[in-house]
Structure 1
Amino acid sequence: MQLQREKSLLLMVDFQAGLLPVIEGGQEAVTEAAWLGEMACLLEVPVWLTEQNPEKLGGTAPSLLAALNDYLLWQKQHFSVMAEAEFESALKASGKTQIVLCGTEAHICVLQTGLGLLAAGYELYWLSEASASRRPQEATMARERACASGAVTVTADMVAYEWLHRCDTAQFKEAHQRFLKPRSSRPVRFF
């Protein structure tokens, strides 16, 4: 399975300001999600966000919203956004079949959403470095369970390069200048 941007949708689950302070690696997850969200916007891949009970947990982290120039926001009460009838209908109507998934908490809302997406027949790509929980071992277990159910683990770089597909386009050149530079102390290799 290889990602194709015309079939893809980036789904970011519950990166909420009231929840993030207690999430181990939460800020790093937001940073990676924001980076891929900017790339998605450049490449016209839809970005959808969810918020779980925002009256209690607050809205989406301002730093994430600032990185995105186009997104659709869904509020939910179910842990799995797939249990929200309006969301499920809109996703089906979008025609997107490849869902890149990330968020918090990985072992609750992200996992339940992922399992719902898999059950509905979508290809699921678990964005590992942008999925976090209060306890890291629960995020790891969530990823393992999702993958055992049919998801594929990916990194932001993997997704970006699959969406870009080739290096001789104007989109690649713009992406390279704007986004494809090291985001942290870890090196990024370009070929």
Structure 2
Amino acid sequence: MQIQRDKSLLLMVDFQARLLPVIDGGEEAVSEAAWLGEIACLLEVPVWLTEQSPGKLGGTSTSLLACLSNHYRLWQKQHFGAMSEDDFRQALNATGKTQIVLCGTEAHICVLQTGLGLLEAGYELYWLSDASASRRPQEAVLARERACQSGAVAVSADMVAYEWLHRCDTALFKEAHQQLLKPRSTRPVRFF
């Protein structure tokens, strides 16, 4: 099954300033998320961000926010899984979107619990592997494996972008072309 932009929402979990320095591969995850976020903005795919207790962990990375050009909705949460927040769950349901592309930190805590909640609610879940990270890399791997065993599909940012674009002979593709070629992380992504 392919990811379709009219059915999609990009959900970025807790890319927070005070948390990112201790995340293994945190910069690379933000870079991949920002790259796909820019494509999402161009294609008018909704981008939602969550922040876990921002008073303690800081707000969302300013470099990520700068890439999204105010084309995002920000949610603050206390539950590790965003679907446990009533206002978030109701607003997501109201969008009519059925395909959620999910990424963030920490993969084995807030991203995983959010993903499991989305699966339980019946959403198609696409785990953005190159933009999901944890303090310990093995925990990010375990989180992806558990999500996929529960029904998620592991994807890369390129997979998502090109499935959203669907073809190369459109004005949208021509507009996105420079963004598609833009360099991203400086370190190779590890998928283990």
Are 2:28 and 2:187, in contact at CA under 8 Å, matched by a contact in 1? no
Give 2:175's aligned residue: 174
The amino acid that maps onto 2:155 is: V
The 1:158/1:55 distance shift into structure 2, 3 A limit, reads same
CA distance in 2, matches of 1:87, 1:20: 23
Q: CA deviation at 1:184?
A: 4.9
Paired residues in the alignment total 187
TM-score, normalised relative to structure 1: 0.95
Are 2:53 and 2:76, in contact at CA under 8 Å, matched by a contact in 1? yes
Give 2:10's aligned residue: 10
CA distance in 2, matches of 1:77, 1:121: 23
The amino acid that maps onto 2:147 is: A
CA distance in 1, matches of 2:73, 2:186: 32
The 1:13/1:184 distance shift into structure 2, 3 A limit, reads closer
Give 1:144's aligned residue: 145
CA distance in 1, matches of 2:185, 2:135: 22
The 1:16/1:148 distance shift into structure 2, 3 A limit, reads same
Deviates more, 1:97-106 or 1:170-179: 170-179
Q: CA deviation at 1:159?
A: 0.1
The 1:135/1:124 distance shift into structure 2, 3 A limit, reads same
The amino acid that maps onto 1:5 is: R
Q: Matched residues, percent identical? A: 81
What stretches of structure 1 of length at least 5 have no aligned partner? none
CA distance in 1, matches of 2:72, 2:173: 22
Task: Write out per-residue CA displacement over residues 110-161 of structure 1, whole angstroms, 9 at most, x where no aligned residue.
Answer: 0000000000000000000100000000000000000000000000000000
Q: 1:117 is paired with a residue of what secondary structure? A: helix
Give 2:41's aligned residue: 41
TM-score, normalised relative to structure 2: 0.95
CA distance in 2, matches of 1:114, 1:53: 19
Task: Write out per-residue CA displacement over residues 50-79 of structure 1, whole angstroms, 9 at most, x where no aligned residue.
Answer: 000000000000000000020000000000
CA distance in 2, matches of 1:125, 1:27: 21
Does 2:56 correspond to 1:61? no
Give 2:78's aligned residue: 77
CA distance in 2, matches of 1:139, 1:186: 17
CA distance in 1, matches of 2:186, 2:53: 35
CA distance in 2, matches of 1:90, 1:60: 20
The 1:64/1:184 distance shift into structure 2, 3 A limit, reads closer
Q: CA deviation at 1:178?
A: 2.9
Q: 2:64 is paired with a residue of what secondary structure? A: helix
What stretches of structure 2 of length at least 5 have no aligned partner? none
